[in-house]
Structure 1
Amino acid sequence: MRIAFFVKDVDTEVDEYTTTRLARAACRSGHEVWYIGVGDVELGEGDGQLLARARRADFDEGDTLATLMERIKERDAERIVMEDLDALFLRNESIDDLQERPWASPLGPVFGQMLKARGVTVVNDPMSLIRATSKLYLEEFPEKIRPRSLVTRDPQAIERFVAKVGHSVVKPLYGGKGRNVFMIEDESETNLPQMTEAVLQDGYALAQEFVDGGENGDVRIFLLDGHILERDGQLAAFRRVPTGNDPRANISVGGRSVPVGADDVELSVVEAMTDKLVADGMFFVGIDVIGDKVVEINAESAGGMQSVERLYDVDVCPTVIDALERRVGSRP
């Protein structure tokens, strides 16, 4: 299988992150692996081919993730024809680019859809991914598994929501890594106007009912083809716990990961999502769960495999690559 990982920028890839672990698993399975950055694509003059300045990933026995990534970055780029790929794994973080490089933000699904039409297996599904990068995607799932919420750019509407619901979370509709996420106790919060203003600088705001138990963090669960990812009986899930006085549990803002087992409540939440995730072509996603509610769906570049491997001493990424290989093999 010829597989490429489509990333934000090859030179800024972090060796510890999930994408590198997926690439390592693909290399170990004998696949031909490439890295392509958002800015590395070219539409061929005249023939309409999609080309890329790609860098090959080769894993040698004895490699660490750091040495693997270092060698990828040191390689000279080679021009490859992208429609000759068997699979393209979209792993660019468009939300980051939305802030830093607006021109780059939409291009993963754009190039992905072009390649899907030319016979390449693209995950996650590019058209569904356009919706799934927004927190609005959660609203498409059954009401019983999601908190009450409001999407608006009206500060007064947020005030009315908080007055009605009480303890709430306000965050950007397009956002990640804990940026501009605020906890609000009730409508008497003196800094509510300032918090709302900060969130609205990023566009639409999502006001969400605070779920009981959220003060203890959330559970990140990885789903593969709509089911909990596992390997050798170990589920790919962990609890993200906030540290200090910061209520956010995101690892990127100092949260820490601890072991967790999925209970019947969480299993029922996943079951309620399975059919839609499969129908939407959401091959590999991470969901964040508090109690019996999903508070976030991470469909674009779900991360945290380093926590799974560290906590349980198991690498679940080969299971993802095996499933991708089966998907490619079943393609007409």
Structure 2
Amino acid sequence: MSTRLLVIADPVAGFKIHKDSTYAMLREANKRGWELWITLADDMRVQNGMVQTAAQRLTFTATQEYKHWFELAEPQHLALKDFSAVLMRKDPPFDQQYLYATHLLTLAEAQGARVFNPGQTLRDYNEKLAILKHPQFTAPTLVTQRAADIRAFLAEHGDVILKPLDGMGGMGIFRIRPDDANIGSIIEMLTANETATIMAQRYLPAIKDGDKRVLIIDGKPVDWCLARIPKAGETRGNLAAGGTGVARPLTAKDREIAETLGPQLAAKGLFLVGLDVIGENVTEINVTSPTCFQEITDQSGIDVAALFIDALERKLS
């Protein structure tokens, strides 16, 4: 019996196949003869106590052209437990609907589904707040919704980054310094007038050398990372914000961080993790839909998708 893989993702028609990591996973699984199914988180439901979804069989076409690389069959309502593996690959933001989806995943796991990453760990590991579990690798950090706290942190450190707790791709990230004329407005906007909790971190000058994405698969680091270099005039290295991705071998410090955190994260059930490392500090622990597979593969020769599917096969066996 072939391996039946269900991927919960955003609509496949929107995949940028030259760089999409979920596409790379699907392509590698297809090479191995896996049966591929795709669904949206919005299409999950509980009926007669069973977690189901409107899943569509996905097949690769011969053309491999953008937006024409796949064909989808008519939807079928199937139980999540009836698949060999379920990959949760929906992009953030981690909003209320995403939270509900994780609860359905947890219920499906209790019914026998094998979900990667599991619903409980997605809830436990907010991508920004999770670094607080590992203070030995973090820069000075503040979490608050109070303007006075942020101003005091800025006065202490002189140059800080402010970020929301639910974004992705660098959205809503600001760098502020004491002479910034817009401090008040930025704080008001990010905290929604002190009703939303945000994070402040001391600015790390090492960002000029890149915000490194270090991938961990089932507790073990990939040997190369992707350093995302900010474009001129930018603080953010995110590729979505115009950064340039440069693959590099892990430094000794990168490897120390990854080999320390990897087994701990795997023990919590996190199968795929993307650490964001600036200099010698972890700034985020990405667990919802870590990316950069193809960029690392294209520049290093390491087939990250193959490593991922290898590890998934071991897990399923």
Q: Same fold (TM over 0.5)?
A: yes
> What corresponds to 2:5 in structure 1?
3
Work out the CA distance in 1 between the residues paired with 2:295 and 2:10: 22
SS in 2 for 1:147: coil
Q: Deviations over 1:247-304 (max 9, x none)?
A: 1111001111112111111111112212321121111011111121111111110112
Q: Distance in 2 between matches of 1:275 and 1:172?
A: 28
Question: Separation in 2 of the partners of 1:260 and 1:276?
Answer: 24
Whole-angstrom CA distance in 1 between matches of 2:313 and 2:105: 18
**8 Å CA contact 1:94, 1:106 repeated in 2:** no
CA deviations over 1:43-94 (Å, ceiling 9, x no partner): 22xx32222211112235663564334x23xx32223222211211111124
Counterpart position of 1:307: 295
1:316 aligns with 2:308: no
How do 1:171-186 and structure 2 match up within 5 A? 171-185=163-177
CA distance in 2 between counterparts of 1:215 and 1:184 reads: 17
Question: Following TM superposition, by how much is the alpha carbon of 1:198 offset from its aligned partner in structure 2, in angstroms?
Answer: 2.2
Distance apart, 1:13 and its partner CA: 4.1
1:196 pairs with 2:187: yes
Q: Contact conserved, 2:127 with 2:287, CA < 8 A, in 1?
A: no
Provide, for residues 301-327 of structure 1, a one-character-per-residue CA deviation record: whole Å limited to 9, x for no partner: 011223123323443202111211211
Aligned to 1:298: 286
2:79 matches 1:81: yes
Contact 1:9 1:39 (C-alpha < 8 Å) held by counterparts: no
> Partners of 2:197 and 2:145 in 1: how far apart?
5
Do the aligned partners of residues 253 and 218 (structure 1) sit closer, same or farther apart at CA in structure 2, a change above 3 Å counting?
same
Answer whether contact 2:215 2:221 (CA < 8 A) is retained: yes
Structure-1 separation of matches of 2:254 and 2:80: 39
**Mean CA deviation greater in 239-248 or 309-318:** 309-318
Question: 1:161-310 residue pairs with structure 2 within 5 A?
Answer: 161-185=153-177, 187-201=178-192, 203-229=196-222, 235-310=223-298
Q: Is the 8 A contact 2:207 2:229 kept in 1?
A: no
Aligned residue in 2 for 1:232? none
| Distance in 2 separating the partners of 1:148 and 1:314 | 34
TM-score by length of 2: 0.91
CA drift of 1:123 comes to 0.9
Cα shift readout 1:13-33 (whole Å, capped 9, x = no counterpart): 443411111111111111111
Post-superposition offset of 1:236:
4.1
Give the alignment's TM-score, normalised by structure 1. 0.87
CA–CA separation in structure 2 for the residues paired with 1:190 and 1:168: 15
Distance 1:308 1:41, change over 3 A: same
CA-CA distance at 1:179 after TM superposition: 1.2
Name the residue aligned to 2:122.
129
Which sits farther off after the overlay, 202-211 or 31-40? 202-211
- Say whether the 8 Å CA contact 1:180–1:198 is kept in structure 2: no
1:91 maps to which residue? 89
Cα distance in 2 for partners of 1:277, 1:289 equals 16
8 A Cα contact 2:39 2:56, kept in partner: yes
In structure 2, runs of 5+ residues without a counterpart are: none
Residue type of the partner of 2:69? L
Q: Per-residue deviation at 1:204?
A: 1.1
Deviations 1:209-255 (A, max 9, x none): 112312332111111112212xxxxx341110111211111100111
| Structure 1 gap segments, 5+ residues each | 230-234
